[in-house]
A and B are shown apart, each in its own frame.
Chain A
């Protein structure tokens, strides 16, 4: 998996670099805790001091969820086109292609999770804010269809600002397109776990991110339909503390559990085994590991 490791360069500013040698130390955005960069990396981008979940590269979720060496990418050649002649869209696509690890805002493939075959989609927020256009819709639809055909569980890790404006109403139609296949998954009783990371908003939330049999969320992730700025503008007042966070959604019954990044794989494995009625694995974590009361 060396293809994404090389991208893990320090991203601190020039000013900070004077205070902290960038390639050795890193600082938590939430609590200011300074720790060796390596420590953050080993903790999957989670601050040891305050538990803040930093945004990590999309490819990191392969490490987090997939068994080593089992990932096989699918549909990597799908590319967005500028169907509307929308100004600067081509340039933005080209710029995103340079810095992202996939051909668009999601990569899809097959893998094993704790030994079980799964179909995995991970959205890439660095690719135009993880926006859902025709390619994202098509890749998700194909992967979900493959899950129906092969009876393999589907896991989607969302990180998205919503539909891709530059594709106009075609991007909106991707909500319907993906929903068509998710509906078939449900009909055929194939498990679908949706994992919402920071942020999951707009059209993505208003489609597959909220359609999982089980919906998990990373601690602190902002999840909602409208973005906080739009809501603030509409109601003309500040939003309550913690509004639209994963914990807020849990309290209001919109997600099943808030799960720390380090526990995602074990939690998914456990859920998939339980859904299939398969026996527990030796050493499998206790179910309470996923509960918010346990300090996620």
Chain B
């Protein structure tokens, strides 16, 4: 755990280490250290909430990218039951950067789709760091169309640095795959709830994030470009990523303010990676509440409301 501590998490890690030390001492020497531990634990809780309450936008980006942060499959197992993974786009290959399939959410059958990052280097090579190819998006669309046919709601979990920028991806029409998904999702005749669980990286995120409701975990981010990419383009200096992260307004509270996101899902103290189970427990009820509201709406009305919502997005003047 400590080895993954982000720079600003180091004071937390240090306190955790002290507490662990005390506990070990206590066990080794059969001492009662409860009196010493209690104030430390209190201090730890305070420090955690203090640090996490004051995260800068770029620190949130770091939390959203944390290697211990729960990923799509963690939520699939923590929130849903009966998951059957369905593979392939029926056109080219199966893209492991996107997982999807049938599952149950408290009795309700749903189709779940999400980008999947890898936990280690080997896993990440297979998952391509959660950066899908066109066939990943086409698999997602195939599953969404299936959901529509069987009247099942769609839940998407978004966690990607972006769609993969590579030779094969371009050859096979990355732009077309994303454009098609966005268009089809705009008129899909079944409820869609999209949840940004980590990184919402531009078009590669939006390609599975058009929905009746868009939710965001407290420390997730959603942006048109990465802070690094933005800094490189604007100031020719990727190290200015902190300034770029401020400018881009990519945090969950920012996006609520811009009318792009409907609800923030609170994370456990210290971020979702500090307690993945608690994060899963937080997601379940929120999803159920939104789905319960949406499944009652007739498809025509659902699609009309979705269209109206997106047609309102944007800020401009008319002289």
Contacts and interface: CB of A to CB of B under 8 A. Distances in A.
A143 to B, nearest CB: 13
B127 to A, nearest CB: 16
A163 interface: yes
B310 A169 contact: no
B315 interface: yes
B179 A168 contact: no
Contacts of B217: none
Contacts of B234: 165
A170 B310 CA distance: 11
Contacts of A120: none
Nearest to B243: A87
A12 interface: no
Interface stretch (A47-55, A109-117, A205-213, A265-273): A205-213
A141 B313 CA distance: 11
A223 B260 CA distance: 28
A176 B210 contact: yes
B311 A165 contact: no
Interface string A180-194: 111110110000000
B248 to A, nearest CB: 5
A240 interface: yes
A85 to B, nearest CB: 8
Contact of A235 (B167, B178, B247, B318): B167
B186 interface: yes
B179 A211 contact: yes
Interface in A102-161: 133-135, 137-138, 141
B175 A209 contact: yes
A278 interface: no
B187 interface: yes
A171 interface: yes
Interface residues of B, number: 52
Contact of B224 (A171, A179, A231, A244): A171
B30 interface: no
Contacts of B186: 176, 179-180, 183
A180 B311 contact: yes
Given A175-B203, A235-B167, A239-B167, A226 B174 contact: yes
A213 B35 CA distance: 73
Contacts of B316: 78-81, 134-135, 138
A267 B176 CA distance: 22
Interface string B91-108: 000000000000000000
A98 interface: no
A226 B315 contact: no
A243 interface: yes
Contact of A168 (B176, B207, B229, B248): B248
Nearest to B167: A235
A193 to B, nearest CB: 15
B258 interface: yes
Interface in B239-272: 247-250, 255, 258, 260
A254 to B, nearest CB: 5
Given A77-B318, A168-B248, A231-B170, A226 B165 contact: yes
A235 B175 contact: no
A141 B311 CA distance: 8
B258 A169 contact: yes
B230 A226 contact: no
Interface string B169-204: 111111110111011101100000000000000110
B167 A240 contact: yes
A175 B177 CA distance: 13
A169 B210 contact: no
B179 A86 contact: no
Contacts of A180: 186-187, 306-307, 310-311
Contacts of B310: 173, 176-177, 179-180
A90 B255 CA distance: 21
A243 B317 CA distance: 39
Nearest to B205: A172
Nearest to A223: B175
B170 A224 contact: yes
A169 B179 contact: no
A203 B27 CA distance: 59
A142 to B, nearest CB: 10
Nearest to B200: A169
A165 B175 contact: no
30 contacts: A79-B319, A81-B316, A84-B248, A134-B314, A141-B311, A163-B202, A165-B225, A165-B230, A167-B314, A167-B315, A169-B224, A169-B248, A169-B250, A170-B315, A172-B203, A175-B182, A177-B311, A177-B313, A183-B183, A202-B203, A209-B175, A210-B179, A211-B179, A225-B178, A226-B174, A239-B167, A240-B167, A243-B167, A243-B170, A253-B173
Interface of B: 163-167, 169-176, 178-180, 182-184, 186-187, 202-203, 206-207, 210, 222-225, 229-230, 233-234, 247-250, 255, 258, 260, 306-307, 310-311, 313-319
Given A164-B224, A187-B187, A226-B174, 19 more contacts: A80-B317, A81-B315, A81-B317, A83-B315, A84-B248, A134-B316, A141-B311, A170-B315, A172-B206, A175-B182, A176-B182, A179-B210, A183-B183, A206-B174, A225-B169, A225-B170, A231-B167, A252-B172, A254-B173
